[in-house]
Amino acid sequence: MRYLVIFFCVMISSGVIAQRSDKKDSPVMSGSFVYSLPRTGIRVHVKATEEKFFHGPYFSYAKALLGINNVSSEDKVKWTIDDINIETFSEPDPVQIHLAKGDFGVLISMTPSGIISGINSQSEIDKNFSPVTSFYGEQKTPEIPYTDLSLKSFIVKEDSLNYDDKIIIKSMQEKVKDAAKTIIKLRNRRFKLLTGDEEKKLPDGESYGVMVDQLKKLEKEYVALFVGKSFFKTFEYTFDYIPGNNTVSGNVIFRFSESGGVLPSNDMSGKPVTIDVKKDDNLFSAQSNGTSGLSGGVNTIYYRLPGKAEVKLSLGIRLLATSSIEVAQFGTVAPVPEGLLNGDYSILFYPETGEIKQVSKIKK
């Protein structure tokens, strides 16, 4: 809760004088205050995953020894969009700034950003924040993705009489055969554990499950020598967009590439993700008709009747997200009835939209 208390240096009258600001107005005088109505911004949260794939060193033997087809022979990077959320935030509308002067000004409360939040009342402080998006995050992956290539040694020590203790390294074919045999042994071992076909007594409960899981994990590591392995990392991004007073269509909010991920809107290496904000013209017309006869007097404080909008985010013909939201600047501005500004009433506003939240008579 925050009250704006201003001591007047010059008192022109005991009444409240409020008027819309205008570029032709004289500078703000002592004893006056300025408040603003809010406008609505759209905040888009994007969650994306980067997959870095490293092909297996034994990829060319996958079909012959393991019967696995279509194994990749190249390293790859692939991005996917996992989730998109749409929310709104508010900020002062630069075209809806109002000037007020008079004793009644001490009863007006505002948010830290200067948006009117109450008259003669206690109001909550808005908690808007501006998240930061970085495009420089880098996924940390091992410099050497494969370190366990075999359970057997790669070194063959030949007869010292013939080779003078010369060390012979196994050929690629021999290394591959050892790896394939290890996979088969691990599978057989796991099969015996699962079927109870073991000569030795097996552990019960949790220990048994741990043994099965470790054998499965070890087998997966060795199969990766043939089919490759991937490393995953998730990134989160936030983008803000502020529409004008009318429907907008096809505006680029960010870009996306399967190889480069989520990119700024000015990075042409990605495909555009566009935002459409369709104004509810029927609601706006009804609001306009209902407030057309209202005019502000010398004791006027203004508030908003927010409009409605349908928001769509698209990547080409693919619809990524949609939401129905209130947009302050899609509605109309109206004066608070002068009968409520005599100090006998407490008025609360929604700081997010500028709409009247509650009117109550003060008990004396």
Using DSSP, state whether 296 is helix, strand or coil: coil
Instruction: Tell whether 159 is covered by a domain.
Output: no
Q: Map tokens 């409240």 to a residue.
A: 16
Instruction: Tell whether 262 is covered by a domain.
Output: yes
Instruction: Tell whether 328 is covered by a domain.
Output: yes
Instruction: Tell whether 219 is covered by a domain.
Output: no
Instruction: Tell whether 53 is covered by a domain.
Output: yes
Name the domain count of the chain. Answer: 1
pTM of the predicted structure, to 2 decimals = 0.76
pLDDT at 5: 36
Alpha helix positions (H), the chain = 160-163, 172-195, 205-227, 281-291
Instruction: Tell whether 146 is covered by a domain.
Output: no
User: What span, in angstroms and rounded, lies between the C-alpha atoms of 108 and 340?
Assistant: 13
Instruction: Tell whether 148 is covered by a domain.
Output: no
The DSSP 8-state label assigned to residue 135 in this structure reads: S
pLDDT at 343: 81
Instruction: Tell whether 118 is covered by a domain.
Output: yes
Q: What is the dihedral of CA 239, 242, 246, 247, to 10 degrees?
A: 0
Q: Provide the residue range defining the domain that includes 35.
A: 16-140+232-361
Beta carbons within 8 Å of 289's beta carbon, 6+ residues apart: none
Under a CB-based contact definition with an 8 Å cutoff, are residues 71 and 59 in contact? yes
Beta carbons within 8 Å of 19's beta carbon, 6+ residues apart: 25, 98, 99, 100, 296, 300
Cα 187 to Cα 176, 178, 211, 302, 362, distances in angstroms: 17, 14, 13, 75, 79
List, run by run, the mean pLDDT of 10-residue segments along the chain (364 residues): 36 37 43 86 95 92 89 93 95 90 71 90 62 56 61 55 62 83 84 68 68 84 90 93 95 96 94 97 92 71 95 96 96 89 88 93 81
Complete DSSP assignment for 154-200: SEEE--HHHHTT-EEEPPHHHHHHHHHHHHHHHHHHHHHHHHT--SS
